[in-house]
Amino acid sequence: MQFKDVIGQEALTLHLGEIVQHNRLSHALLFLGKEGSGALAAALAFAQYVVCDNKNGDSCGVCSACSKAAKYIHPDIHYSYPVISKKSGDKPVSSDFIQEWREFVKLSSYGNAYDWLQFIGAENKQGNITAHECNDIIRKLSLKSFESEFKILLMWLPEYLGNEGNKLLKLIEEPPPNTLFILVAENESLILQTILSRCQLVKVPLPGVKDIEKALISRAGLSSVQARQLAGICEGNYREALQLMQHAGEDWQETLREWLNAILKTGPVSQVKWIEEVSKSGREKQKQFLRYFTHLLEQSIRLRIMGTETNAISIADNEMDFALRLNKMTDIPQQQAIIEELDKATYYVERNANPKMLFHALTIKLYHIIKDKVVISSW
């Protein structure tokens, strides 16, 4: 993977290239970014850049080292990640799953721990980076490099290291010459403090909406309208955008218009009919619909504050019209109250709440928030 393959991280990849070119490379780096930010993709691209024979702003992509790194078979780049026991009594290490890992990162470099564990058939098993894995890392990094100047250990999700991670402290603090640790994490608070303190932090921000939109058009083949809608909803999380893409053909705006009409105009019979329909749609569609409504409300608030002429707002014309209508219907406190209720509803949908009861309660709450300007805080 090259820097150019990482979505919307031009400033970060430029910085990473410069620290290598100017010989300011720390022996331990922690790439920290939220799910869907591309922290793993950036780390993979960085590892390839370090071993590249003809680097110039980016890895060349054609030398022998790049060819091997792109296939995740370079002998001097080692990978560590959460794994499971295949059978009782096993002492699994990452190399037991190297074929699955190579396939996974080629297909899902923006995936999360859940995606990976399901990919290797974990089902309900808990993934871990074990003491046996730590011993294996120590063994691998004690060997001389085969082809590159550097030996690299890329560890994905050090949050899965328990106290056995302390086995690595001496190695991280005083590594053999030209040994590079690259840790890739989502949650800083779950990493052992003893490891955290020994790493140089590299923050990976979420890509911008425009970057996600471009990627969905060029990589996923979505239309500009669909890509703009999904990019707005996922708020920089490219993994989430790919998940939402499965339902990109849905007309959420029409669904929302029917719901608001039932709440405010046509009454209980229409409300019951709408609730029946949305209850049959499945959890993923229900979550996406709720997120879309939240997205429109957030756009409405931005339009109210910034006005329609500013370049700070990227919104499709049909969404602009709907957002302006929402502003005529509700004020900012009402919009914030509705967003809170939608967030709660999304939380309960994810936890298998009864959809009929949930959307019925939500319908009543929205009626009172909009018509009576009453904010009901309890469920």
Q: Concatenated DSSP letters for 4-18?
A: GGSTT-HHHHHHHHH
pLDDT score, position 379:
34
- Quick one: pLDDT at residue 240? 86
Please check whether residue 12 is in contact with residue 202, taking contact to mean a CB–CB distance below 8 angstroms: yes
Q: Which of 206, 264, 267 is nearest to 237 (CA)?
A: 206
Is it the case that residue 292 has pLDDT exceeding 90?
no
Q: Is residue 371 scored above 90 in pLDDT?
A: no
What average pLDDT does the chain have?
90
pLDDT of 288 strictly over 90:
no
Q: 350: pLDDT confidence band, cut at 50, 70 and 90?
A: confident
The arithmetic mean of pLDDT across residues 374-378, rounded, is 46
pLDDT at 216: 94
Q: Distance (Å, rounded) from C-alpha 353 to C-alpha 135?
A: 44
User: Which alpha helices (H) appear in the chain, and where do they start and end?
Assistant: 10-21, 39-51, 64-70, 98-107, 113-119, 131-141, 169-173, 193-196, 209-218, 224-234, 238-244, 252-261, 268-279, 283-306, 317-329, 332-350, 355-371
Max Cα distance, the chain (Å): 75
- Calculate mean pLDDT across residues 224-251: 81
How does residue 227 score in pLDDT terms, banded at 50, 70 and 90?
Answer: confident
pLDDT value at position 312? 45
What b-and-e string marks burial along 279-293, b requiring 16 or more CB atoms within 10 Å of the CB?
beeeeebbbbbbbbb
Helical H runs in 52-151? 64-70, 98-107, 113-119, 131-141
Could you tell me which CATH number the domain at 3-205 has? Answer: 3.40.50.300
More confident residue, 274 or 320: 274
What is the reported pTM? 0.76
Element containing residue 185 per DSSP (H, E): strand 179-185
Q: Are 50 and 152 in contact (CB under 8 A)?
A: yes
pLDDT value at residue 149:
94
Of the pLDDT bands very low, low, confident and very high (cuts 50, 70, 90), residue 315 is low
User: Which band of pLDDT confidence, cut at 50, 70 and 90, is reported for residue 317?
Assistant: low
The strands making up 77-80's β-sheet, listed across from edge to edge, are 77-80, 151-156, 179-185, 28-32, 200-203
Arithmetic mean of pLDDT, 73-100: 93
**What is the model's pLDDT at position 374?**
54
pLDDT band with cut points at 50, 70 and 90 for residue 316: low
pLDDT interval class at 309 (50, 70, 90): low
Q: What is the pLDDT of residues 188-210, one digit of tens each?
A: 999 999 999 999 999 999 999 89
- Can you tell me the mean pLDDT for 241-262? 84
Tell whether the model's pLDDT for residue 310 goes beyond 60. no
Task: Please check the confidence at residue 376 and state whether its pLDDT lies above 50.
Answer: no
Average pLDDT over residues 92-111: 96
> What is the average pLDDT across 17-39?
95
For residue 153, the cross-strand partners are: 78, 181
State the residue for tokens 């590079």. Answer: 180
- Which of 49-53, 273-277, 329-333 has the weakest average pLDDT? 329-333
Provide the residue ranges of all domains of the chain, joining segments of one domain with +: 3-205, 210-243, 250-371
Per-residue pLDDT of 41-53, as tens digits, reads: 999 999 999 999 9
Residue 283 pLDDT class (50, 70, 90 cuts): confident
Q: What pLDDT is recorded for position 314?
A: 53
